[in-house]
DNA sequence: CGCCTAATTGAACCCGGTCAACCTTAGTGG
DNA sequence: CCACTAAGGTTGACCGGGTTCAATTAGGCG
Protein backbone atom coordinates (compact mmCIF):
# COMPACT_ATOMS: atom_id res chain seq x y z
CA UNK A 1 0.00 0.00 0.00
CA UNK A 2 0.97 3.57 -0.57
CA UNK A 3 1.82 4.42 3.00
CA UNK A 4 4.59 1.91 3.17
CA UNK A 5 6.34 3.79 0.44
CA UNK A 6 8.56 6.69 1.46
CA UNK A 7 5.96 8.41 3.55
CA UNK A 8 5.81 12.02 4.57
CA UNK A 9 7.54 12.63 7.84
CA UNK A 10 8.26 9.02 8.50
CA UNK A 11 11.85 7.97 8.47
CA UNK A 12 12.47 5.22 5.95
CA UNK A 13 13.65 2.88 8.67
CA UNK A 14 13.38 4.16 12.21
CA UNK A 15 15.47 2.26 14.76
CA UNK A 16 18.34 1.32 12.52
CA UNK A 17 18.70 4.82 11.23
CA UNK A 18 18.52 6.19 14.72
CA UNK A 19 21.29 3.99 15.96
CA UNK A 20 23.46 4.84 13.02
CA UNK A 21 23.35 8.53 13.87
CA UNK A 22 23.31 8.16 17.64
CA UNK A 23 19.80 9.19 18.61
CA UNK A 24 18.71 9.66 22.18
CA UNK A 25 15.21 8.97 23.44
CA UNK A 26 13.34 11.57 25.49
CA UNK A 27 10.07 11.36 27.38
CA UNK A 28 7.91 14.42 27.82
CA UNK A 29 4.90 15.26 29.98
CA UNK A 30 1.78 16.75 28.46
CA UNK A 31 1.10 20.47 28.18
CA UNK A 32 4.74 21.46 28.41
CA UNK A 33 6.74 23.80 26.27
CA UNK A 34 9.59 21.87 24.76
CA UNK A 35 11.32 24.34 22.47
CA UNK A 36 11.05 28.11 22.52
CA UNK A 37 11.24 30.21 19.39
CA UNK A 38 14.69 31.67 19.00
CA UNK A 39 16.31 28.99 21.07
CA UNK A 40 19.60 27.52 19.93
CA UNK A 41 19.11 24.10 18.46
CA UNK A 42 21.24 21.27 17.13
CA UNK A 43 18.80 18.37 17.06
CA UNK A 44 15.89 17.33 14.97
CA UNK A 45 13.26 15.19 16.69
CA UNK A 46 11.20 12.21 15.74
CA UNK A 47 7.88 12.07 17.48
CA UNK A 48 6.95 8.49 18.28
CA UNK A 49 3.59 8.38 19.95
CA UNK A 50 2.25 11.71 21.18
CA UNK A 51 0.79 14.96 19.90
CA UNK A 52 2.70 18.23 19.85
CA UNK A 53 2.28 21.52 18.06
CA UNK A 54 4.52 24.22 16.66
CA UNK A 55 3.42 27.78 17.30
CA UNK A 56 4.34 31.40 17.42
CA UNK A 57 3.15 34.27 19.59
CA UNK A 58 2.53 37.53 17.75
CA UNK A 59 3.03 41.05 19.01
CA UNK A 60 -0.65 41.40 19.74
CA UNK A 61 -0.47 38.36 21.98
CA UNK A 62 -2.39 35.97 19.77
CA UNK A 63 -1.00 32.53 19.14
CA UNK A 64 -0.80 30.91 15.74
CA UNK A 65 -0.31 27.17 15.63
CA UNK A 66 1.65 26.40 12.50
CA UNK A 67 0.98 22.69 12.58
CA UNK A 68 0.34 19.72 14.78
CA UNK A 69 3.11 17.17 15.12
CA UNK A 70 1.49 13.76 15.01
CA UNK A 71 2.98 10.38 15.83
CA UNK A 72 5.56 9.50 13.21
CA UNK A 73 6.38 13.05 12.23
CA UNK A 74 9.72 14.80 12.41
CA UNK A 75 10.25 18.36 13.55
CA UNK A 76 13.10 20.72 14.18
CA UNK A 77 14.92 20.43 10.89
CA UNK A 78 14.58 24.10 10.18
CA UNK A 79 15.75 24.85 13.67
CA UNK A 80 19.01 23.07 13.01
CA UNK A 81 19.56 24.66 9.63
CA UNK A 82 18.85 28.15 10.84
CA UNK A 83 20.76 27.46 14.06
CA UNK A 84 17.75 28.42 16.14
CA UNK A 85 14.14 27.39 16.38
CA UNK A 86 11.76 29.40 14.22
CA UNK A 87 8.78 28.32 16.25
CA UNK A 88 8.08 27.20 19.73
CA UNK A 89 7.06 23.59 20.22
CA UNK A 90 4.85 22.30 23.02
CA UNK A 91 3.36 18.95 23.90
CA UNK A 92 -0.34 18.24 23.99
CA UNK A 93 -0.17 14.70 25.29
CA UNK A 94 2.79 12.98 26.88
CA UNK A 95 5.11 11.62 24.27
CA UNK A 96 8.48 10.08 23.59
CA UNK A 97 10.88 11.58 21.10
CA UNK A 98 14.14 10.59 19.51
CA UNK A 99 16.65 13.40 19.26
CA UNK A 100 18.89 13.24 16.22
CA UNK A 101 21.85 15.58 16.38
CA UNK A 102 23.23 16.61 13.04
CA UNK A 103 25.14 19.40 11.45
CA UNK A 104 24.91 20.23 7.79
CA UNK A 105 28.37 21.75 7.86
CA UNK A 106 29.79 18.54 9.18
CA UNK A 107 31.19 16.21 6.56
CA UNK A 108 29.90 13.28 8.56
CA UNK A 109 26.52 13.90 7.09
CA UNK A 110 27.89 13.58 3.59
CA UNK A 111 28.44 9.93 4.28
CA UNK A 112 24.87 9.43 5.41
CA UNK A 113 22.76 10.24 2.38
CA UNK A 114 19.87 8.26 3.79
CA UNK A 115 19.50 10.62 6.70
CA UNK A 116 19.86 13.53 4.34
CA UNK A 117 17.13 12.13 2.14
CA UNK A 118 14.85 11.47 5.07
CA UNK A 119 15.28 15.05 6.19
CA UNK A 120 14.58 16.29 2.70
CA UNK A 121 11.43 14.20 2.50
CA UNK A 122 10.25 15.43 5.80
CA UNK A 123 10.92 19.04 4.91
CA UNK A 124 9.11 18.69 1.61
CA UNK A 125 6.14 17.06 3.23
CA UNK A 126 6.00 19.72 5.87
CA UNK A 127 6.03 22.31 3.12
CA UNK A 128 3.12 20.58 1.44
CA UNK A 129 1.07 20.55 4.61
CA UNK A 130 1.90 24.18 5.32
CA UNK A 131 0.74 25.03 1.84
CA UNK A 132 -2.61 23.46 2.58
CA UNK A 133 -2.82 25.24 5.90
CA UNK A 134 -2.15 28.47 4.13
CA UNK A 135 -5.01 27.81 1.77
CA UNK A 136 -7.16 26.94 4.76
CA UNK A 137 -6.58 30.24 6.41
CA UNK A 138 -6.62 32.33 3.27
CA UNK A 139 -9.47 30.92 1.23
CA UNK A 140 -11.66 28.53 3.12
CA UNK A 141 -14.62 29.19 5.37
CA UNK A 142 -14.58 27.96 8.95
CA UNK A 143 -16.73 25.03 7.88
CA UNK A 144 -14.28 24.05 5.19
CA UNK A 145 -11.25 24.52 7.40
CA UNK A 146 -12.58 22.24 10.08
CA UNK A 147 -13.42 19.65 7.46
CA UNK A 148 -9.96 19.86 6.06
CA UNK A 149 -8.24 19.64 9.40
CA UNK A 150 -10.23 16.63 10.52
CA UNK A 151 -9.50 14.82 7.28
CA UNK A 152 -5.82 15.63 7.46
CA UNK A 153 -5.59 14.31 11.00
CA UNK A 154 -7.60 11.27 10.10
CA UNK A 155 -5.58 10.40 7.03
CA UNK A 156 -2.31 10.75 8.84
CA UNK A 157 -3.39 8.77 11.86
CA UNK A 158 -4.87 6.13 9.61
CA UNK A 159 -1.55 5.86 7.83
CA UNK A 160 0.25 5.16 11.07
CA UNK A 161 -2.41 2.80 12.30
CA UNK A 162 -4.01 4.93 14.99
CA UNK A 163 -7.59 4.88 13.74
CA UNK A 164 -10.37 2.44 14.32
CA UNK A 165 -12.84 2.34 11.50
CA UNK A 166 -13.69 5.97 10.81
CA UNK A 167 -12.79 7.07 14.31
CA UNK A 168 -9.72 8.42 16.01
CA UNK A 169 -8.74 9.94 19.30
CA UNK A 170 -8.18 13.70 19.08
CA UNK A 171 -6.70 15.24 22.24
CA UNK A 172 -7.23 18.82 21.04
CA UNK A 173 -9.17 21.54 22.80
CA UNK A 174 -11.28 23.87 20.74
CA UNK A 175 -8.82 26.58 21.63
CA UNK A 176 -5.97 24.64 20.01
CA UNK A 177 -8.07 24.03 16.94
CA UNK A 178 -8.97 27.68 16.73
CA UNK A 179 -5.36 28.77 17.06
CA UNK A 180 -4.40 26.38 14.29
CA UNK A 181 -7.11 27.49 11.87
CA UNK A 182 -7.14 31.18 12.64
CA UNK A 183 -10.55 31.07 14.31
CA UNK A 184 -11.87 31.83 17.75
CA UNK A 185 -12.94 29.06 20.11
CA UNK A 186 -16.45 30.41 19.92
CA UNK A 187 -16.57 29.98 16.21
CA UNK A 188 -14.87 26.60 16.28
CA UNK A 189 -17.57 25.48 18.64
CA UNK A 190 -20.41 26.70 16.48
CA UNK A 191 -18.88 25.26 13.34
CA UNK A 192 -18.22 21.90 14.94
CA UNK A 193 -21.85 21.77 15.92
CA UNK A 194 -22.85 22.52 12.36
CA UNK A 195 -20.66 19.68 11.08
CA UNK A 196 -22.25 17.37 13.60
CA UNK A 197 -25.77 18.46 12.71
CA UNK A 198 -25.00 17.95 9.04
CA UNK A 199 -23.97 14.39 9.87
CA UNK A 200 -20.53 14.82 8.36
CA UNK A 201 -18.64 13.98 11.54
CA UNK A 202 -19.40 12.64 14.97
CA UNK A 203 -17.75 13.99 18.09
CA UNK A 204 -18.11 12.33 21.45
CA UNK A 205 -15.66 13.61 23.98
CA UNK A 206 -12.23 13.30 22.43
CA UNK A 207 -13.27 10.74 19.84
CA UNK A 208 -13.91 11.98 16.33
CA UNK A 209 -15.72 9.88 13.75
CA UNK A 210 -15.59 10.68 10.06
CA UNK A 211 -19.17 10.05 8.91
CA UNK A 212 -18.97 11.22 5.31
CA UNK A 213 -15.46 11.24 3.94
CA UNK A 214 -16.58 12.04 0.40
CA UNK A 215 -18.57 15.09 1.33
CA UNK A 216 -15.86 16.43 3.61
CA UNK A 217 -13.20 15.93 0.97
CA UNK A 218 -15.28 17.59 -1.68
CA UNK A 219 -16.15 20.69 0.24
CA UNK A 220 -12.64 21.23 1.55
CA UNK A 221 -10.77 20.46 -1.68
CA UNK A 222 -9.10 17.61 0.12
CA UNK A 223 -7.32 15.86 -2.65
CA UNK A 224 -4.06 16.45 -0.87
CA UNK A 225 -1.99 15.54 -3.84
CA UNK A 226 0.79 14.83 -1.43
CA UNK A 227 -1.23 12.10 0.19
CA UNK A 228 -3.19 11.33 -2.92
CA UNK A 229 -2.69 7.62 -3.26
CA UNK A 230 -2.96 7.09 0.46
CA UNK A 231 -6.21 8.96 0.57
CA UNK A 232 -7.71 7.01 -2.28
CA UNK A 233 -6.83 3.72 -0.68
CA UNK A 234 -8.20 4.89 2.63
CA UNK A 235 -11.47 6.02 1.16
CA UNK A 236 -11.96 2.65 -0.43
CA UNK A 237 -11.17 0.93 2.81
CA UNK A 238 -13.51 3.20 4.69
CA UNK A 239 -16.34 2.52 2.32
CA UNK A 240 -15.85 -1.17 2.73
CA UNK A 241 -15.77 -1.02 6.51
CA UNK A 242 -18.57 1.51 6.60
CA UNK A 243 -21.21 -0.82 5.27
CA UNK A 244 -21.25 -2.87 8.40
CA UNK A 245 -20.86 0.11 10.76
CA UNK A 246 -17.53 -0.69 12.42
CA UNK A 247 -17.35 -1.82 16.02
CA UNK A 248 -16.05 1.61 17.02
CA UNK A 249 -19.57 2.92 16.63
CA UNK A 250 -19.75 3.57 20.40
CA UNK B 1 27.62 39.65 5.88
CA UNK B 2 24.90 37.21 6.59
CA UNK B 3 23.54 36.78 3.12
CA UNK B 4 26.75 35.39 1.80
CA UNK B 5 26.34 32.55 4.21
CA UNK B 6 24.20 29.60 3.12
CA UNK B 7 21.24 31.63 2.09
CA UNK B 8 17.67 30.45 1.76
CA UNK B 9 16.88 29.21 -1.69
CA UNK B 10 20.20 30.14 -3.13
CA UNK B 11 22.40 27.32 -4.23
CA UNK B 12 25.76 27.34 -2.43
CA UNK B 13 27.56 27.68 -5.71
CA UNK B 14 25.43 28.09 -8.76
CA UNK B 15 27.15 27.48 -12.09
CA UNK B 16 29.59 24.82 -10.90
CA UNK B 17 26.87 22.86 -9.21
CA UNK B 18 24.68 23.14 -12.25
CA UNK B 19 27.32 21.77 -14.51
CA UNK B 20 28.05 18.93 -12.18
CA UNK B 21 24.45 17.72 -12.37
CA UNK B 22 23.82 18.63 -15.95
CA UNK B 23 21.40 21.53 -15.75
CA UNK B 24 19.68 22.96 -18.78
CA UNK B 25 18.78 26.61 -19.18
CA UNK B 26 15.28 27.65 -20.21
CA UNK B 27 13.86 31.03 -21.17
CA UNK B 28 10.23 31.86 -20.51
CA UNK B 29 7.89 34.64 -21.63
CA UNK B 30 5.86 36.58 -19.12
CA UNK B 31 2.33 35.66 -18.05
CA UNK B 32 2.65 32.05 -19.07
CA UNK B 33 1.75 28.94 -17.16
CA UNK B 34 4.86 26.83 -16.80
CA UNK B 35 3.77 23.88 -14.68
CA UNK B 36 0.28 22.65 -14.00
CA UNK B 37 -0.74 21.08 -10.73
CA UNK B 38 -0.76 17.31 -11.00
CA UNK B 39 1.67 17.28 -13.86
CA UNK B 40 4.42 14.70 -13.88
CA UNK B 41 7.71 16.20 -12.93
CA UNK B 42 11.34 15.18 -12.70
CA UNK B 43 13.15 18.48 -12.49
CA UNK B 44 13.63 21.15 -9.90
CA UNK B 45 14.21 24.67 -11.22
CA UNK B 46 16.45 27.53 -10.26
CA UNK B 47 14.99 30.91 -11.06
CA UNK B 48 17.70 33.30 -12.17
CA UNK B 49 16.22 36.67 -12.89
CA UNK B 50 12.44 36.79 -13.14
CA UNK B 51 9.33 36.59 -11.00
CA UNK B 52 7.03 33.59 -10.92
CA UNK B 53 4.37 32.33 -8.57
CA UNK B 54 3.05 29.00 -7.37
CA UNK B 55 -0.70 28.70 -7.10
CA UNK B 56 -3.69 26.44 -6.83
CA UNK B 57 -7.25 26.78 -8.05
CA UNK B 58 -9.93 25.72 -5.57
CA UNK B 59 -13.26 24.11 -6.27
CA UNK B 60 -15.03 27.44 -5.93
CA UNK B 61 -12.81 28.86 -8.64
CA UNK B 62 -10.73 31.15 -6.48
CA UNK B 63 -6.99 31.14 -6.85
CA UNK B 64 -4.58 31.00 -3.96
CA UNK B 65 -1.01 32.01 -4.62
CA UNK B 66 1.16 29.97 -2.30
CA UNK B 67 4.27 32.05 -2.82
CA UNK B 68 6.17 34.18 -5.23
CA UNK B 69 9.35 32.76 -6.71
CA UNK B 70 11.90 35.54 -6.75
CA UNK B 71 15.27 35.66 -8.48
CA UNK B 72 17.62 33.22 -6.82
CA UNK B 73 14.95 30.90 -5.53
CA UNK B 74 14.46 27.23 -6.28
CA UNK B 75 11.11 25.56 -6.91
CA UNK B 76 9.81 22.19 -7.85
CA UNK B 77 11.54 20.06 -5.26
CA UNK B 78 8.28 18.79 -3.86
CA UNK B 79 7.10 18.08 -7.35
CA UNK B 80 10.01 15.72 -7.90
CA UNK B 81 9.64 13.98 -4.55
CA UNK B 82 5.92 13.48 -4.94
CA UNK B 83 6.39 12.62 -8.63
CA UNK B 84 3.94 15.30 -9.65
CA UNK B 85 3.56 19.02 -9.07
CA UNK B 86 1.47 19.99 -6.07
CA UNK B 87 0.92 23.47 -7.40
CA UNK B 88 0.80 25.18 -10.72
CA UNK B 89 3.57 27.61 -11.53
CA UNK B 90 3.28 30.61 -13.81
CA UNK B 91 5.56 33.44 -14.82
CA UNK B 92 4.92 37.07 -14.04
CA UNK B 93 7.87 38.54 -15.91
CA UNK B 94 10.01 36.86 -18.48
CA UNK B 95 12.72 34.82 -16.86
CA UNK B 96 15.45 32.27 -17.34
CA UNK B 97 15.54 29.05 -15.38
CA UNK B 98 17.95 26.21 -14.89
CA UNK B 99 16.34 22.80 -14.85
CA UNK B 100 18.03 20.28 -12.57
CA UNK B 101 16.90 16.73 -13.09
CA UNK B 102 17.32 14.46 -10.12
CA UNK B 103 15.87 11.35 -8.62
CA UNK B 104 15.98 10.58 -4.95
CA UNK B 105 15.82 6.89 -5.67
CA UNK B 106 18.88 7.14 -7.83
CA UNK B 107 22.11 6.32 -6.10
CA UNK B 108 23.81 8.96 -8.14
CA UNK B 109 22.43 11.52 -5.77
CA UNK B 110 24.10 9.81 -2.85
CA UNK B 111 27.41 10.86 -4.26
CA UNK B 112 26.34 14.46 -4.51
CA UNK B 113 25.64 15.51 -0.95
CA UNK B 114 26.07 19.14 -1.89
CA UNK B 115 23.06 19.04 -4.15
CA UNK B 116 21.13 17.21 -1.46
CA UNK B 117 22.05 19.83 1.06
CA UNK B 118 21.10 22.63 -1.28
CA UNK B 119 17.73 21.04 -1.84
CA UNK B 120 17.26 20.56 1.87
CA UNK B 121 18.13 24.18 2.52
CA UNK B 122 15.75 25.33 -0.09
CA UNK B 123 12.95 23.14 1.20
CA UNK B 124 13.48 24.32 4.74
CA UNK B 125 13.51 27.93 3.69
CA UNK B 126 10.38 27.47 1.68
CA UNK B 127 8.78 25.94 4.73
CA UNK B 128 9.76 28.93 6.80
CA UNK B 129 8.26 31.35 4.32
CA UNK B 130 5.09 29.30 4.04
CA UNK B 131 4.82 29.40 7.81
CA UNK B 132 4.91 33.16 7.71
CA UNK B 133 2.36 33.26 4.92
CA UNK B 134 0.14 31.06 7.01
CA UNK B 135 0.38 33.49 9.87
CA UNK B 136 -0.35 36.29 7.44
CA UNK B 137 -3.56 34.79 6.31
CA UNK B 138 -4.64 33.44 9.67
CA UNK B 139 -3.78 36.18 12.12
CA UNK B 140 -2.86 39.41 10.48
CA UNK B 141 -5.06 42.22 9.26
CA UNK B 142 -4.87 43.33 5.66
CA UNK B 143 -2.68 46.22 6.75
CA UNK B 144 -0.25 43.89 8.49
CA UNK B 145 -0.22 41.38 5.65
CA UNK B 146 0.69 43.98 3.09
CA UNK B 147 3.42 45.28 5.37
CA UNK B 148 4.77 41.82 5.81
CA UNK B 149 4.71 40.96 2.14
CA UNK B 150 6.47 44.14 1.12
CA UNK B 151 9.18 43.60 3.70
CA UNK B 152 9.65 40.00 2.68
CA UNK B 153 10.02 40.96 -0.96
CA UNK B 154 12.31 43.82 -0.08
CA UNK B 155 14.58 41.76 2.16
CA UNK B 156 14.93 39.01 -0.36
CA UNK B 157 15.57 41.30 -3.28
CA UNK B 158 18.04 43.27 -1.20
CA UNK B 159 19.87 40.05 -0.42
CA UNK B 160 20.29 39.32 -4.11
CA UNK B 161 21.19 42.87 -4.99
CA UNK B 162 18.02 43.96 -6.74
CA UNK B 163 17.17 46.99 -4.61
CA UNK B 164 18.29 50.57 -4.80
CA UNK B 165 18.25 52.30 -1.46
CA UNK B 166 14.87 51.51 0.00
CA UNK B 167 13.27 50.90 -3.38
CA UNK B 168 12.65 47.92 -5.59
CA UNK B 169 10.77 47.04 -8.73
CA UNK B 170 7.62 45.03 -8.05
CA UNK B 171 5.93 43.66 -11.18
CA UNK B 172 2.81 42.54 -9.33
CA UNK B 173 -0.77 43.54 -10.04
CA UNK B 174 -3.07 44.15 -7.12
CA UNK B 175 -4.90 41.03 -8.17
CA UNK B 176 -1.77 38.92 -7.72
CA UNK B 177 -1.14 40.49 -4.34
CA UNK B 178 -4.69 39.82 -3.28
CA UNK B 179 -4.53 36.21 -4.37
CA UNK B 180 -1.35 35.75 -2.40
CA UNK B 181 -2.64 37.34 0.79
CA UNK B 182 -6.19 36.07 0.68
CA UNK B 183 -7.67 39.50 -0.02
CA UNK B 184 -9.67 41.03 -2.83
CA UNK B 185 -8.14 43.52 -5.23
CA UNK B 186 -10.51 46.11 -3.87
CA UNK B 187 -9.21 45.69 -0.38
CA UNK B 188 -5.58 45.49 -1.48
CA UNK B 189 -6.10 48.80 -3.16
CA UNK B 190 -7.60 50.47 -0.12
CA UNK B 191 -4.95 49.07 2.19
CA UNK B 192 -2.14 50.09 -0.08
CA UNK B 193 -3.52 53.59 -0.04
CA UNK B 194 -3.61 53.54 3.75
CA UNK B 195 0.03 52.44 3.89
CA UNK B 196 0.92 55.25 1.55
CA UNK B 197 -1.03 57.84 3.53
CA UNK B 198 0.63 56.67 6.72
CA UNK B 199 3.98 57.28 5.06
CA UNK B 200 5.15 53.72 5.65
CA UNK B 201 5.73 52.95 1.99
CA UNK B 202 5.80 54.79 -1.29
CA UNK B 203 4.38 53.37 -4.47
CA UNK B 204 4.88 54.96 -7.83
CA UNK B 205 3.92 52.72 -10.67
CA UNK B 206 5.76 49.47 -10.19
CA UNK B 207 8.39 50.94 -7.88
CA UNK B 208 7.94 50.38 -4.17
CA UNK B 209 9.87 52.34 -1.59
CA UNK B 210 10.15 51.23 2.02
CA UNK B 211 9.81 54.49 3.95
CA UNK B 212 9.72 53.18 7.52
CA UNK B 213 11.24 49.75 7.89
CA UNK B 214 11.03 49.79 11.67
CA UNK B 215 7.35 50.57 11.82
CA UNK B 216 6.48 48.02 9.16
CA UNK B 217 8.53 45.32 10.86
CA UNK B 218 6.97 46.07 14.21
CA UNK B 219 3.38 46.01 13.13
CA UNK B 220 3.77 42.89 11.02
CA UNK B 221 5.96 40.92 13.45
CA UNK B 222 8.62 40.84 10.81
CA UNK B 223 11.52 39.45 12.71
CA UNK B 224 11.58 36.57 10.26
CA UNK B 225 13.85 34.49 12.37
CA UNK B 226 14.82 32.74 9.21
CA UNK B 227 16.25 35.91 7.80
CA UNK B 228 17.09 37.39 11.16
CA UNK B 229 20.72 38.35 10.71
CA UNK B 230 20.12 39.47 7.18
CA UNK B 231 17.27 41.67 8.28
CA UNK B 232 19.25 43.27 11.05
CA UNK B 233 22.12 44.09 8.77
CA UNK B 234 19.75 45.45 6.19
CA UNK B 235 17.96 47.64 8.65
CA UNK B 236 21.24 49.17 9.72
CA UNK B 237 22.21 49.73 6.14
CA UNK B 238 18.87 51.29 5.36
CA UNK B 239 19.12 53.64 8.28
CA UNK B 240 22.51 54.79 7.12
CA UNK B 241 21.40 55.37 3.56
CA UNK B 242 18.16 56.89 4.67
CA UNK B 243 19.69 59.93 6.31
CA UNK B 244 20.73 61.42 3.03
CA UNK B 245 17.58 60.27 1.15
CA UNK B 246 19.10 57.92 -1.43
CA UNK B 247 19.31 58.89 -5.06
CA UNK B 248 16.45 56.49 -5.80
CA UNK B 249 14.01 59.10 -4.48
CA UNK B 250 11.31 59.15 -7.16
C1' DC C 1 -17.61 20.00 47.61
C1' DG C 2 -15.20 23.88 45.56
C1' DC C 3 -11.92 25.04 41.91
C1' DC C 4 -10.38 25.39 37.36
C1' DT C 5 -10.43 24.42 32.67
C1' DA C 6 -13.17 23.51 28.61
C1' DA C 7 -17.44 23.68 26.12
C1' DT C 8 -21.59 26.18 24.86
C1' DT C 9 -24.73 29.77 23.69
C1' DG C 10 -26.45 34.77 23.00
C1' DA C 11 -26.08 39.56 21.10
C1' DA C 12 -23.70 43.53 19.09
C1' DC C 13 -20.17 44.90 16.19
C1' DC C 14 -16.58 45.23 12.43
C1' DC C 15 -13.18 43.88 8.93
C1' DG C 16 -13.12 42.62 4.64
C1' DG C 17 -16.10 40.78 0.72
C1' DT C 18 -19.36 41.76 -2.96
C1' DC C 19 -21.30 44.43 -6.50
C1' DA C 20 -20.92 48.14 -9.39
C1' DA C 21 -19.29 52.24 -11.35
C1' DC C 22 -15.60 55.12 -13.01
C1' DC C 23 -10.83 56.47 -14.06
C1' DT C 24 -6.10 55.88 -15.98
C1' DT C 25 -2.78 53.99 -18.79
C1' DA C 26 -0.92 51.61 -22.68
C1' DG C 27 -1.48 49.59 -26.95
C1' DT C 28 -3.71 49.54 -31.79
C1' DG C 29 -5.39 51.03 -35.89
C1' DG C 30 -7.31 54.48 -38.97
C1' DC D 1 -3.46 62.87 -34.10
C1' DC D 2 -7.28 60.87 -32.25
C1' DA D 3 -10.76 57.07 -31.53
C1' DC D 4 -11.22 52.67 -29.73
C1' DT D 5 -10.21 48.93 -26.61
C1' DA D 6 -8.65 46.28 -22.71
C1' DA D 7 -6.39 45.69 -18.44
C1' DG D 8 -5.44 47.49 -14.21
C1' DG D 9 -6.29 50.83 -10.62
C1' DT D 10 -9.60 53.58 -7.62
C1' DT D 11 -13.67 54.57 -5.07
C1' DG D 12 -18.54 54.11 -2.96
C1' DA D 13 -22.47 51.56 -0.67
C1' DC D 14 -24.03 47.60 1.42
C1' DC D 15 -23.74 43.00 3.43
C1' DG D 16 -22.18 38.90 6.03
C1' DG D 17 -18.96 35.60 8.24
C1' DG D 18 -16.48 35.71 12.09
C1' DT D 19 -15.00 38.38 16.27
C1' DT D 20 -15.77 40.28 20.74
C1' DC D 21 -17.72 40.48 25.06
C1' DA D 22 -20.17 38.16 28.38
C1' DA D 23 -22.68 34.79 30.80
C1' DT D 24 -23.87 29.91 31.65
C1' DT D 25 -23.08 25.00 31.71
C1' DA D 26 -20.44 20.86 31.82
C1' DG D 27 -16.13 17.88 33.18
C1' DG D 28 -11.86 16.58 35.79
C1' DC D 29 -9.51 16.55 40.22
C1' DG D 30 -7.63 18.14 44.77
* Positions in chain B whose pLDDT score sits under 50: 1-14, 228, 230-234, 241-250
Nucleotide C20, nearest residue via CA and C1': B186
Architecture of domain A140-241: Orthogonal Bundle (1.10)
From CA A210, how far away is CA A203, in angstroms rounded? 9
The CATH number assigned to the domain with range B15-130 reads 2.60.120.10
Whose C1' is closest to the CA of B141: which nucleotide? C15
From CA B36, how far away is CA B55, in angstroms rounded? 9
| Run of H or E including B59 | none
Of chain A, the end-to-end C-alpha distance in Å amounts to 29
Query: Residue A81's closest chain B neighbor by CA?
Result: B121
List the alpha helices (DSSP H) in B140-207.
Answer: 142-159, 174-181, 185-197
Beta bridge partners of B3: none
Whose C1' is closest to the CA of A187: which nucleotide? D18
Question: Do B104 and A110 lie within an 8 Å CB cutoff?
Answer: no
From CA B194, how far away is CA A67, in angstroms rounded? 32
Pairing of the two strands A63-69 and A167-169: unpaired
Candidates B53, B123, B141, partner chain A, best to mutate (most A CBs within 10 A):
B123
Question: Do A126 and B121 lie within an 8 Å CB cutoff?
Answer: no
Query: Residue B135's closest chain A neighbor by CA?
Result: A64
Nucleotides of D under 7 A from a protein CB: 7-13, 17-22, 28
Nearest to B66 among A56, A113, A134 (CB): A134
Closest Cα partner for A73 from A95, A105, A102, A42? A95
pLDDT of residue B239: 54
Q: What is the pLDDT along chain A (250 residues), one digit of tens a residue?
A: 333 333 343 443 445 555 555 678 999 999 999 999 989 988 999 899 999 999 999 988 899 999 999 998 889 988 888 888 889 999 999 999 999 887 766 666 677 777 788 788 888 888 888 999 999 999 999 999 999 999 999 988 888 889 999 999 999 999 999 999 999 999 999 999 999 999 999 999 899 999 999 999 999 988 766 665 544 554 555 555 544 444 433 3
Closest Cα partner for B148 from B137, B158, B159, B161? B137
B116-166 per-position pLDDT tens digit = 887 888 888 888 889 999 999 999 999 999 999 999 999 888 888 899 999
pTM more than 0.75: yes
Question: Do A86 and B128 lie within an 8 Å CB cutoff?
Answer: yes
Distance from CA of B246 to the nearest CA of A (A): 31
Structural domain boundaries in chain A: 15-130, 140-241
pLDDT of residue B12: 39
Amino acid sequence: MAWNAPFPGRLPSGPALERSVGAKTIRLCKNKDFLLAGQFCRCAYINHDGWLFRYKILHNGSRQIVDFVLPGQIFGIQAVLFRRALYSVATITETSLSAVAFDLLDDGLDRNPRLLKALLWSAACEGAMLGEHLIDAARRTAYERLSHLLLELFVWLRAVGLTEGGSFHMPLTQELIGDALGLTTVHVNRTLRALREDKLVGIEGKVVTIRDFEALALLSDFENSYLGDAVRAIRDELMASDDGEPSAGS
